[in-house]
Structure 1
Amino acid sequence: MDFEMMLDRFDTAIVARLLEGGTATNAELGEAARLSGPAAGRRQRLLESDGYIKGYSPKLNFEKLGFGTLVMVLIQVKSKATDTFEAFENAVRSSPSLLSCHLLSGSEDYLLSLRAKDLKDFERIHREELSKLPGVSGMQSLFALREVLSRDASPSMLSGS
């Protein structure tokens, strides 16, 4: 049986502080957790080595980078056979425009997300990448009109609610 370390109030405060901006000094983490800086730094490294923190990356401003069009694509595959799913997932991993891919329950099999410069750019991505994904029997593209909320974790995940 795997034993998962439970996050205590110190770890929770450290993770919450890191979620605010992605990076923080040991002193800032210590202040947030009411620990010394070195103690907070040790806890952060333990959270990383235990896999609670998978990594750090910048939060990009897609609008400023010229990729203001957020598209979600629902995919249905032709067959529920393992080799169909594996071929599709391998192709998705090598598709340079995709940001995420999720296997779903329900009538759709996958949800893909991507960023495009505009509709013309999405048309190119559709033609060069999406239409070439193996095993696809249906595809529906959904365009986000406005992003209302985007975060890596919800506050309730840290409070145990």
Structure 2
Amino acid sequence: MLQLDGTDRKLLRELQRDSRRSVQVLGEAVGLSASACHRRIRALEDHGYISGYRADLDAARLGYAMQFFIEVGLTSQSEAALEAFEAAVQDIPEVLECHLTAGHSDYLLRVICRDHEDFERLHRRLSARLPGVARIHSNMSIRTVKARMGLPL
């Protein structure tokens, strides 16, 4: 296991902020040469601290104007029921996140939709096609107040 030092944490913060910068620019930001910076990034990747790189897309610009948080309760919490639900939810592209929760519901889903008709279609799909669904409770997001993409380091 790689022990993170202050430079590693600075580098992770910089990568979260903008991973498209060159290794030279990242190195300058954290006080390393380009080659030392490259070695550190490679070590952070190899040890699983960096799980990937991605582009953040604008959902509204791409036509997804609505976001919902959906609580799902299952008829059973058996291992087989949980596995069946989790496998089925993987095939629904509008489901951006699925969390197994402790509390009132079994799962919390974050979904995006283009409009009300799109949400109705998705709601029916969730109710009818997902195995073991006993109840669904939907909350529409009016506006995102804070969306943190990076982890506090």
Query: Number of paired residues?
Result: 153
Contact 1:29 1:41 in 2 (8 A): no
Q: Quick one: distance in 2 between partners of 1:65 and 1:109?
A: 30
1:95 is aligned to 92
* Whole-angstrom CA distance in 1 between matches of 2:126 and 2:106: 18
Match of 2:81 among 84, 87, 103: 84
Larger helix share, 1 or 2: 1
The Cα shift of 1:45 comes to: 1.1
One-letter code of the match for 1:136? V
55-64 vs 145-154, which moves further:
145-154
C-alpha contact 2:127 2:133 (8 A) present in aligned 1: no
How many angstroms does 1:37 deviate by?
Answer: 1.1
How far does residue 102 in structure 1 lie from its aligned partner after superposition?
0.4
CA shift, 1:108, in A, is 0.8
Question: With structure 2 as the length reference, what TM-score do the two structures score?
Answer: 0.94
Structure 1 contact 9–33 (Cα < 8 Å) conserved = no
Structure 1 counterpart of 2:123, one-letter code: H
RMSD: 1.3
Alignment gaps of 5+ in structure 2: none
Distance 1:64 1:108, change over 3 A: same
Of 38, 42, 57, the residue aligned with 1:60 is 57
Instruction: Indicate if the aligned counterparts of 1:68 and 1:116 stay in contact, CA closer than 8 A.
Output: yes
Residue by residue over 1:122-145, the C-alpha shift from the partner in whole angstroms, topping out at 9 and shown as x without a partner, is 111112345311001111011100
Alignment TM-score, normalising by the size of structure 1? 0.89
Change (3 A) 1:46 1:40: same
Q: What percent of counterpart residues are identical? A: 38
